[in-house]
Amino acid sequence: MSQPVIVARDLVKRYGDFAAVDGISFEVAPGESFGLLGPNGAGKSTTMRMVGAVSTRTAGDLAILGLDPDRFGPEIRSQLGVVPQADNLDTELRVRENLLVYGRYFGLPRKLVAERADELLAFAQLEDKGKAKVDSLSGGMKRRLTIARALVNDPRVLLLDEPTTGLDPQARHILWDRLFRLKEQGTTLLLTTHYMDEAEQLCDRLVVVDKGKIMAEGTPAALIRRYSSREVLEVRFGSDRNADVADQLAGIGDRLEVLPDRILVYSENGEAELERITSAGLHPLTSLVRRSSLEDVFLRLTGRSLIE
């Protein structure tokens, strides 16, 4: 097997007494698309910064492309493409200039950077925006420009910190398409997200992170199998009745979860469970059978209470 691109062992980052990352371990193989999934404040961005060699670890071991970021920061960074959570495009420069200048930061020759800039503008579907001001771009376009910029040094690994947060559905799908193409070309992707659909779309494998620790690891399908069921039946009886009805539903499905507004029935066959419920004389106001998703895994592992 080929050497992993990223190896993290018992990685810790402490700020004073607070451990933002509290002993996480994972490996990413070349060409793999690996996701860090977790709620806000789980330690995803801190992990990304350590992998990006812009933050030093407090403890544990980390190797990026076989190198220790504490000692080979510049060498590692020259092989990475970084898409930070908040765009930090250079607003004093035009769109194409952003690519030209960023390429020069890597010490690449001017001519090579100019060629790449044109290719990348095409890749990011921004060919006709080369001379535009950065501030005139839409959120989705800025994001694509940031990704194009991250590719200017032809990186072996692309780090994406919540790549589609704040984008409308259309812009997200365009972005996913672009990222999927990179994946097909063999670029290793490491991405954080709190969107389950994004993780299912893009990640070969992922870890669920909460409070700086890894809660689960696997492929999206394996995680769903292990922590959820094939299907989920959602039934609503009205906010004041849900809790009462839940007692009568005992024994239905693999597992029940009672939420204030609805009851979730985890099962192999949602329709069959719904029939059992109606034949028991209980008539939900609404019902919905859907495939189980990473969201169910995620909420089960990280809890439903709001984490700020």
- Residues of this chain that interact with other proteins (CB under 8 A) are 3, 7, 9-10, 25, 52, 54-56, 61-63, 66-68, 71-75, 77-78, 80, 82, 84, 86, 88-94, 97, 100-102, 104-107, 153
Residue 101 Cβ, how far from other proteins at the closest point, in Å?
Answer: 5
Nearest residue (CB) to other proteins, 11 versus 264: 11
- With contact defined as beta carbons under 8 Å apart, do 228 and 298 qualify? no
Nearest residue (CB) to other proteins, 104 versus 291: 104
Q: Which residues pair with 12 in a beta bridge?
A: 22, 59
CA 109 and chain centroid, separation:
33
Return the axis-axis angle of helices 95-105 and 139-150, rounded to nearest 10°: 30
Nearest residue (CB) to other proteins, 23 versus 41: 23
Nearest residue (CB) to other proteins, 90 versus 118: 90
Residue 170 Cβ, how far from other proteins at the closest point, in Å?
Answer: 27
Residue 79 Cβ, how far from other proteins at the closest point, in Å?
Answer: 9
Nearest residue (CB) to other proteins, 68 versus 204: 68
Residue 94 Cβ, how far from other proteins at the closest point, in Å?
Answer: 6
Residue 249 Cβ, how far from other proteins at the closest point, in Å?
Answer: 45
